[in-house]
Amino acid sequence: MRFDIITVLPGLLNSPFAHSILQRAQKKGLAEIVVHNLRDYATNKHKSVDDYPFGGGSGMVMTIEPFALCIEKLKGERDYDEVIFLTPDGVTLNQPIANQLSIKQNIILLCGHYKGIDQRIRDLFVTREISIGDYVLSGGELPAAVLVDAVVRLIPGVLSDETSALSDSFQDDLLDAPVYTRPADWNGHKVPDILLSGNTPEIEKWRFEQAVERTKERRPDLLK
Ligand code: ADE
């Protein structure tokens, strides 16, 4: 699977993909993540990628030309399943959306800044608009990193069977049960006896009950 991320701040995306599971996925050849500097596609001599909004108002608007040139160049090289614009007024990212995206081949992510991007970019190129939550960030780069992380960990072979993404919270509309590790007794704070019992069916039953309890308490909206 390949992600092409178009941004004015490519440096902001150096680190998120260079560690842990995302780094491993790329090394194994299961994910390719390519970051493009939007400024490389600016045609004016100041390399500017934004301008004043028509009709007045505060803030700058990102112009269509550099986005169009970059997207068209990429589309000339391969077919894309989706062109996603990260924006607080998009559909909120959740596990079913991450699951849907994880079976795609090639995805372009557009990161906005300033007051927004020219509406024509959204009308002409964008196939989906995704938000990572009801709060406003300074740009789409961190949301793009969040989306890539949520999706890449679902690609078969990225996680070992043991840590399979299928057992994640939200995959079955249940939050995870609490987990513990050594020591079994820390200053009198003990691990639940059941987890030390070696009785696997009883442990599974306990975990399920805990997951249901936690979901009822914290996210009753997930329980249908
Ligand atoms: N850009 C700025 N804020 C955002 C958000 N919450 N989700 C996606 N993109 C954004």
Structural domains for the chain: 2-152 (3.40.1280.10), 167-223 (1.10.1270.20)
| Two structure tokens written together for 54 | 């028509």
Rounded Cα distance, 31 and 20, in Å: 13
pLDDT by residue, tens only, the chain of 224 residues = 999 999 999 999 999 999 999 999 999 999 999 999 999 999 999 999 999 999 999 999 999 999 999 999 999 999 999 999 999 999 999 999 999 999 999 999 999 998 899 999 999 999 999 999 999 999 999 999 999 999 999 999 999 875 677 778 788 899 999 999 999 999 999 999 999 999 999 999 999 999 999 999 999 999 98
Residue 221 exposure: Cα atoms within 13 Å on the Cβ side: 1
pTM above 0.85, yes or no: yes
How far apart are the CA of 129 and the centre of ligand 1, in A? Answer: 10
Residues 111, 139: contact at Cβ < 8 Å?
Answer: yes
Rounded Cα distance, 137 and 65, in Å: 24
How far apart are the CA of 9 and the centre of ligand 1, in A? Answer: 15
Q: Kindly report the number of other CB atoms within 10 A of residue 192's CB atom.
A: 13
Q: Is 116 in the pocket of ligand 1 (CB under 6 A)?
A: no
Q: What would the pLDDT profile of 158-194 be if each residue is shown by its tens digit?
A: 998 756 777 787 888 999 999 999 999 999 999 999 9
Rounded Cα distance, 9 and 104, in Å: 25
Q: Is 54 in the pocket of ligand 1 (CB under 6 A)?
A: no
Q: Is 114 in the pocket of ligand 1 (CB under 6 A)?
A: no
Q: What would the pLDDT profile of 65-83 be if each residue is shown by its tens digit?
A: 999 999 999 999 999 999 9
User: Going by CA atoms, what residue is nearest to atom 9 of ligand 1?
Assistant: 87
Which atom belonging to ligand 1 lies closest to the Cα atom of 132?
7
How far apart are the CA of 194 and the centre of ligand 1, in A? Answer: 43
User: Going by CA atoms, what residue is nearest to atom 5 of ligand 1?
Assistant: 88
How far apart are the CA of 137 and the centre of ligand 1, in A? Answer: 5
Q: Is 88 in the pocket of ligand 1 (CB under 6 A)?
A: yes
